[in-house]
Amino acid sequence: MHARSVVLAALAGVVVSFVIPSAARSQARGVGPLVLQLPASTRAVGFGNAYVAMREAEAVFYNPANAGRTLVAASAERYGSQAVLAGFASSFAFGPAGVGVGAQLVDYHVPVPGYPDLAPNGEQLTRTGPYAASSVVAAMSLAIPFKGIRWGVGAKVAQDRVAAARDGVLLADVGAAKEIGPLSLGVAVQNLGTSAKLLGTSAALPTRATIGFSGGGLPIGPFDFGASAAVSVRRGGRVTPAGGGELSYLIIDGVTIAGRLGTRLPERDGELPVTMGGSFSFDRITLDYAFEPYHGEGSGHRLGIRVR
């Protein structure tokens, strides 16, 4: 069977199961852990967080099949005046296999010490409250090529904490990826596991299936154009498209600047649909910046560094 047919058929089977609600899901309040809903890459923000087909260090958070290139990335983001996020990711080759590892932590404040206020949909990132809270995830992934397709599996431990209460969940990801001509195609199913509970309340996992593509190197005058797009289906049937484009310019050999503009259908309350970003690359080091606006006074400003 053609590679594209294999990937699309796998996605279709998963999506069918996602759109069938269950009694257990109807009892959950909010969505959590919160960190699983936030971007895990500065560059990805500029593409509207459509990153399922990208082979970057942060693939451990987007598609386990894309691990394998020797890359390291670190980033930090400030939401409004009081929430801070920090993340790290790395991938490397191990024979024919690819391995990825990463972690991400966000500190913020909430008005009520439990779900759903702890993780209703992310708008609390730009608010304040009397209770200090945090959300953290640690992840690892393994990618193996077979029959011309990269197949990946991943495991994550995620935890929400507020005051003295905390709850952790063990989650699994699966994915596939393949280059088709100038495009890279990726599909992933993320956050498979049991729902988190905190102080007698529960939150639904942001379990989702995502399919997307990316491509680059298209010359437009003195610039090179690249793009990335994806469509996610969250358990319960919510469909979320996202995508963006990038223009890069080679100043001199080894020195490149780039600008990005992305859009997304907001998943979190308070989130706005347009994102922006830029990069400065010198040899193997790239400095990234991204901006994601929120309603009201708060917005997200993210800085990152990537080393190849």
Q: CA–CA separation, 241 vs 31, rounded Å?
A: 19
Q: Is the pLDDT of residue 10 over 50?
A: no
Confidence of residue 81 (pLDDT cuts 50, 70, 90): confident
Q: Is the pLDDT of residue 166 over 60?
A: yes
pLDDT at 141 (0 to 100): 97
Listed in sequence order, the residues at least 6 apart from 20 whose beta carbon sits closer than 8 Å to its beta carbon are none
Domain that holds residue 282: 3-307
pLDDT at 119 (0 to 100): 54
- Contact predicate 193/172, CB 8 Å: yes
pLDDT at 109 (0 to 100): 84
**pTM for the complete prediction?**
0.86
Which of 278, 227, 302, 237 has its CA nearest to residue 51? 227
pLDDT at 30 (0 to 100): 67
Q: Is the pLDDT of residue 162 over 90?
A: no
The number of angstroms, rounded, from the C-alpha of 106 to the middle of its chain's C-alpha atoms is 14
Q: Is the pLDDT of residue 167 over 90?
A: no
Q: What is the CATH number of the domain that holds 207?
A: 2.40.160.60
Which residue do the tokens 């491509």 mark?
Answer: 215
Confidence of residue 90 (pLDDT cuts 50, 70, 90): very high
Which of 231, 208, 48, 60 has its CA nearest to residue 140? 60
Number of structural domains (the chain) is 1
- Contact predicate 110/118, CB 8 Å: yes
Confidence of residue 123 (pLDDT cuts 50, 70, 90): low
Mean of pLDDT values over 160-170:
83
- Contact predicate 241/265, CB 8 Å: yes
Scanning the chain, the segments in alpha helix (DSSP H) are 3-18, 23-27, 42-46
Which pLDDT tens digit goes with each residue over 173-223? 999 999 999 999 999 999 999 877 766 667 788 899 999 999 998 999 999
Q: Please, what is the average pLDDT of the chain? A: 85
pLDDT at 143 (0 to 100): 97
pLDDT at 13 (0 to 100): 43
Which pLDDT tens digit goes with each residue over 26-62? 333 467 788 998 999 999 999 999 999 999 999 999 9
Bridge partners of residue 290, in order along the sequence: 277, 302
Which pLDDT tens digit goes with each residue over 235-244? 888 899 999 9
| Least-confidence region, from 19-28, 94-103, 256-265, 284-293 | 19-28
pLDDT at 272 (0 to 100): 87
Mean of pLDDT values over 54-80:
94
